[in-house]
Amino acid sequence: MAAVRKTQVQAKKKAAGKAVKGKPAASGRQKPKKKSKATKPAKKAASKRTAKSKTPPKRAKTAAKTVAAEPVEGKAGETPQVPMKRARKKAPPRPATAEDMAKKQREISVAEFFTKNRHLLGFDNPRKALLTTIKEGVDNSLDACEEAGILPEIKVTIAPGTADDRFRVTIEDNGPGIVKAQIPRIFAKLLYGSKFHRLKMSRGQQGIGISAAGMYGQLTTGKPVVITSKTSRNKPAHHYELEIDTAKNEPRIIVDDTVDWPVPQGTRVEIELEAKYQKGRQSVEEYLEQTAIANPHISLQLVAPDGQTIDYKRAANQLPVETREIKPHPYGVELGMLIKMLHDTKASTLQSFLHSDFSRVSMRVAKQICEQAKLYERARPSRIARQEADNLFKAINQTKLMNPPTDCLSPIGEELILAGLKKQIAADFYTAVTRPPTVYRGNPFQIEVGLAYGGSLLADGLARVLRYANRVPLLYQQSACATTRSVLSTGWRNYGLQQSAGALPSGPLVIMVHMASVWVPFTSESKEAVAHYPEVIKETRLALQECGRKLSVFLRRRRKAAESERKKAYVQKYIPHIAIALREMLKLSDNQERTIVKQLTDVLERSRS
Amino acid sequence: MSKLAKEIVNTAGAVRARIQRRSKPTLSFPLRTLSNVTYHPKKGFLQLRGKKKTRTLTVATVKTFAQTLRMMSTAKGLVEDDEIMTKREAYYVSKNWDDARFDEQPESDTVIDDIEALFQVNREQLGFIPEEKGGEIAGKLVVVDRESDTGKELRIDCTKFGSGAYSIPISVEHLKFETKAKFILAIETAGMFQRLVKHGYWKHANCILISMGGVPTRACRRFIRRLADEMKLPVYAFVDCDPYGMFNIYRTLKVGSGNAAHINRYFCVPSATFLGVTPQDIVDYKLPTHPLKDVDIKRAKDAIKNDPFVKHYKPWQDAIQQLLDMGVRAEQQAFAVHDLNYVINHYLPEKLAAPKKFLP
């Protein structure tokens, strides 16, 4: 188990390293690593060699923690004496030996890594930190409730904290609760969770979110995370105050207690953190509103810092269909993963390994793959050497396989999308489309699109795009998202909307795009944008086009009705004059004049319809 | 009730009848464009061909339809009361019509022209009179008019206006003429007219001078027509040598216009001939010129291609071609390059000596 987890940690590090690469400042601060890996960016390796003393990493660390320390230790150039002293000290630059370097090389805990690179998890600024914290808490609560078959009731409270720039966030649910032994690790250990190792459609997938939020709170306020959880009516509620030991990525228990909590079951998380509470775009309200749209089965309550309460009421009483966990599809597995699976499998032969550990591989197909790879089908999977694994990997990709099963997905459904939109947005026209499931890189996914047009929506300005991945609203990095690309590349003018080149369509329009998948390909750990897989873009565009066609029918009909109304009014203006002229010329009575108006109105009315 | 008033009532009745039968009322007008006229050499004017346009009452036409009917009603009132109304006044009267009022005068003018064509009469008969000035007369002519209040006969001697001139009234049907002049000279510009009057040209040439002031008005055309017909006088046109002088002024004077084709029979002077300035005159008299403008070239080419009058006369086609080849135009006043009175002393006498060289 430990080995498995470590592999994940390394994988995360790799990904993070890639993200950091663009920022030289951050990579300069990188602490030396124990093992040098071939995949590591060259830049990082270089920075490791040039690290002369412990000062640069230390400085960076303190800078991250306290701003006050900066002027003293941070900028060396400000006071003339200090650098001179240092210069003298450093005067004979003795080249470091391999042994010197070895002394400095040590393991980095994932917690330390994310402490420094918290922007990767969505904690770049106080405002976003508040939103991310609430988002992670709510996502966890919803996943837990749905898995337990409970209609979620969630209460989010943002209360003023112990200082001006601090807030105390409480997320409380009616979920199944958490068993006592797991609480510390779930909330105070990064990359610990139930969702990473399985292929199942859920909101969370990595096991970082809530513990990262706790870590952020701890980092900015020094306060522990407070957890209260109750698993059944008859059992007491467990009360924990937890800190995360960042050096080891292990929980540190401050308080372990049982308390009286007058609810049947549920979990409450309290985190105090440095944050900024603001309304408007990308706010907590917007996130909760969008969550309510995509999850009409939930009941949400927000208590804002000023004590004001906002309720997002439940619009549907049925839970989403519980999703099935699936085995990975061979097309979606990379070589490294394949080697690991070969090593870890319980199967005794290569053929049965392929059949039992993957989806859509029958015994016959498994045999075919073995033949293609020129491997003995009865070979022990753990004995497969690297070169043979490479052949096996190639053979898999050369064999025609059925697409992965798609009944593992639980789309919101057209009806509930409409219900969600109608609940939160007062518009004149709603439509929704759920596309049939399809596959990217061996992962099944499904796209849904909803449109709301007119009504109280603002007529000038661009359309609003609501993006969702597994029912979770995505608020940041709109322009980096595959769904945005699909909206932009759809020709909205064909559907009677205005759209300037390369822009979103304009008009009173809300476009909702939902991607449901067992593994949503996010561009980063903060889960803000969907990566540009051609299959995803194509499916989204097809769904948008289908909605667009329905919208255009509505718009055409509405325009026609308006036009006909306008014409009628226009005709009504002039008919009386014809009657007046005829009365004058033919010396008719008022009555006859009225008759002419009536008859003429009839004639024109008839000709128009 | 007069014949015209009866016709108006009949038309209105037909419209009403159709409405009562629950079908869309229609009005049909002769199509008033150059494409719907032919030149009738014997009668000597542009005549309407049969093409008609029918205006059916639809959503698109309801406004014009209402305006046309209301204008018809106004015309009926004028005819019955023997009243007149200028086109500008008609425009102002429409301001009473709420939504059916005209926003600009050209709109009401078009509707009046439509009604005129509908009943095949001239608008003066309907009581609508133009604002435009009729033209000016000087020379050996006595116009017999009546005083408007007493009806007493008035004899107007056009030689007695000194440096001024007699103005052609808007309605000329009641006038009578007495003259011993030998011809009528119709002049385009008031400037040239003034020169000829100042030097008493009419005295020694024994003629009547008429200033048309650009395209001759209907009254001016009708006046010249009656004068020429009743006194058996030839009419010579003296205009600028450019497509505008030739086709907009001279052709309208001689055969009428496409737009008013329904009344050309009264408002043209088929006996008129073109004295000058001809393209050949530019060469013969070494006149200073200006290059032809784009609009001139377009008008000239259009005349060759579409004008039924030009199509009928080979000499005109040749003259236009000559003008186009030269690529220049010349004005009446260009003779001043030789001498201020060169036109009186040399050009006009020389041209009049050879009327065969006039263009038809």
pLDDT in tens, A475-497: 888 888 999 999 999 999 999 89
The residues on B that touch A, with CB distances below 8 Å, are: 8-9, 12-13, 15-16, 19-20, 22-25, 57-59, 62-63, 65-67, 69-70, 72-73, 76-77, 97-100
Looking at the structure, do residues A99 and A136 belong to the same domain, yes or no?
A: no
Paired strand residues for A268: A172, A228
Q: Which of A30-44, A416-430, B90-104, B205-219 has the lowest mean pLDDT?
A: A30-44
* Amino acid letter, residue A60: A
Residue contact A585–B72, C-beta within 8 A: yes
Q: What is the pLDDT of residues A328-347, one digit of tens each?
A: 888 878 888 888 888 888 88
Over its C-alpha atoms, chain A yields an Rg (Å, rounded) of 31
- Position A58 pLDDT exceeds 50: no
B contacts of A560 (beta carbons < 8 Å): none
Q: Report yes or no on A427 lying in a domain.
A: yes
CATH number of the domain where residue A379 is located: 1.10.8.50
pLDDT in tens, B93-150: 999 988 889 999 889 988 888 888 888 887 777 888 877 667 899 999 999 998 878 8
Asked if A575 lies within 8 A of B62 by C-beta distance, the reply is: yes
Give pLDDT, residue A47: 45
Instruction: Answer whether A603 sits within 8 Å of B24, measured CB to CB.
Output: yes
Say if A428 falls within a structural domain.
yes
Domain presence at residue A318: no
Average pLDDT over residues A217-228: 90
Size of interface A-B (CB pairs under 8 A): 80
Give the per-residue pLDDT at A32: 46
A348 plus A369 within the same structural domain: yes
pLDDT of residue A542: 94
Q: Which candidate from B13, B24, B97 shows the least CB-CB separation from A586?
A: B13
A1: pLDDT strictly greater than 60 = no
User: What is this structure's pTM?
Assistant: 0.59
Do A260 and A301 lie in one domain? The reply is yes
Label residue A16 by pLDDT band (50, 70, 90): very low
| Interface contact A600-B19, CB threshold 8 A | yes
| CA atoms of B46 and B265, how far apart (whole Å) | 8
**Residue where the block lists tokens 């080149």:** A501
Number of domains forming the structure of chain A: 5
Asked if residue A90 lies in contact with residue A52, where contact means CB atoms within 8 angstroms, the answer is yes
Minimal Cα–Cα distance from A496 to chain B, Å? 25
Q: In 3-state terms, what secondary structure has residue A429?
A: strand
SS (H, E, C) A303-353: ECCCCCEEEECCCCCCCCCCCCCECCCHHHCCHHHHHHHHHHCCCCCHHHH
Query: At residue A407, does pLDDT exceed 80?
Result: no
Name, in order, each residue with C-beta under 8 angstroms of A219's C-beta and a sequence gap of 6 or more. A65, A115, A118
Pairing of β A509-517 and β A464-469: parallel
pLDDT in tens, B157-182: 999 998 889 999 887 888 899 999 99
- State the Cα–Cα distance between residues A222 and A443, nearest whole angstrom: 41
pLDDT beyond 70 at A55:
no
Q: List b or e across A315-338, with b for residues whose CB sees 16 or more CB atoms inside 10 angstroms.
A: bbeebbeebeebbbbbbbbeeeeb
Return mean pLDDT, chain B: 88
Confidence bin at A536 (pLDDT 50/70/90)? very high
Q: Check whether A38 has a pLDDT greater than 70.
A: no
* Same domain, yes or no: A480 and A599: no
Query: Token match 């000290």: residue?
Result: A89
Residue A57 has pLDDT above 50, yes or no: no
Say if residue A18's pLDDT is above 50: no
Q: What angle do CA A271, A277, A281 make, to 5 degrees?
A: 120
CB contact under 8 A, B99 and A602: no
Residues A477 and A379 in one domain: no
Q: How far apart are CA A141 and CA A174, in angstroms?
A: 8
Domain membership flag for residue A278? yes
Question: Does the model's ipTM exceed the 0.90 cut?
Answer: no
Write out pLDDT tens, residues A104-129: 887 777 778 777 888 877 888 899 89
pLDDT per residue as tens digits for the range A544-599? 999 999 999 999 999 888 888 888 888 888 889 999 999 999 998 999 999 999 99
* Min distance B36 CA to chain A CA atoms (Å): 29
Query: What residue ranges define each of the domains in chain B, with the CATH number in brackets?
Result: 3-129 (1.10.10.10), 136-357 (3.40.1360.10)
Return the higher-pLDDT residue of A122 and B315.
B315
Number of helical H runs and strand E runs in chain B: 16, 17
pLDDT higher for B306 or A59?
B306
pLDDT, chain A, mean: 81
- Is there a single domain that holds both residue A131 and residue A265? yes
Q: What percent of chain B has pLDDT over 90?
A: 44
> What span, in angstroms and rounded, lies between the C-alpha atoms of A425 and A375?
59
* Domain of residue A431, CATH code: 3.30.230.10
Distance from CA of A558 to the nearest CA of B (A): 20
A174 and A151, same structural domain? yes
Residues A199 and A305 occupy one common structural domain: yes
Of residues A17 and B111, the one with the higher pLDDT is: B111
Enumerate the β-bridge partners of residue A407: none
- Between the alpha carbon of residue A74 and those of residues A62, A64, A91, B125, the distances in Å are 9, 11, 20, 103
pLDDT, one tens digit per residue, over A79-93 is 444 444 444 555 677
Handedness of CA A326, A330, A331, A335 (dihedral sign): positive
Whole-number pLDDT of residue A42: 44
Q: CA B43: distance to chain centroid?
A: 17
CB nearest to A584's CB, from B23, B66, B73: B73
Q: Of A441-445, B16-20, B132-136, B170-174, which gets the smallest average pLDDT?
A: B132-136
Residue A444, in any domain of the structure: yes
For residue A70, what pLDDT band results from cuts at 50, 70 and 90? Answer: very low
- Distance, in Å, from the CA atom of B207 to the CA atom of B159, rounded to the nearest integer, reads 11
The pairing of strands B272-276 and B235-238 is parallel
Residue B311 has pLDDT above 80, yes or no: yes
| Cα A270 from Cα A239, distance rounded (Å) | 11
Q: What is the CATH number of the domain that holds A235?
A: 3.30.565.10
- Closest chain A C-alpha to B185 CA, distance in angstroms: 46
* Candidate from A567, A574, A584 with C-beta closest to B66: A574
Same domain as A303, residue A188: yes
Q: Is residue A324 part of a domain?
A: no
User: A598 and A512, same structural domain?
Assistant: no
Over residues A87-102, the mean pLDDT reads: 74
Q: What is the dihedral of CA A501, A507, A508, A513, to 10 degrees?
A: -20
Whether pLDDT at A155 is above 50: yes
Last residue of a domain, one of A538, A555, A572: A555
Residue A506 in domain: yes
pLDDT exceeds cutoff 70 at B59: yes
Cβ-defined contacts of A260-263 (< 8 Å, 24+): A260/A236, A261/A228, A261/A230, A261/A237, A263/A174, A263/A230
What is the domain extent for residue A336? 330-398
Same domain, A549 and A438: yes
* Partner residue facing B20 (CB), from A575, A599, A604: A599
**Whole-number pLDDT of residue A26:** 41
Indicate whether A207 and A336 sit together in one domain: no
Check pLDDT > 50 for residue A35: no
How far, in Å, CA of B210 to CA of B213, rounded?
A: 9
Q: Which of A37-41, A175-179, A498-502 has the lowest mean pLDDT?
A: A37-41
Contact A571 B57 (CB under 8 A): no
Which strand (E) or helix (H) includes residue B319? helix B314-326
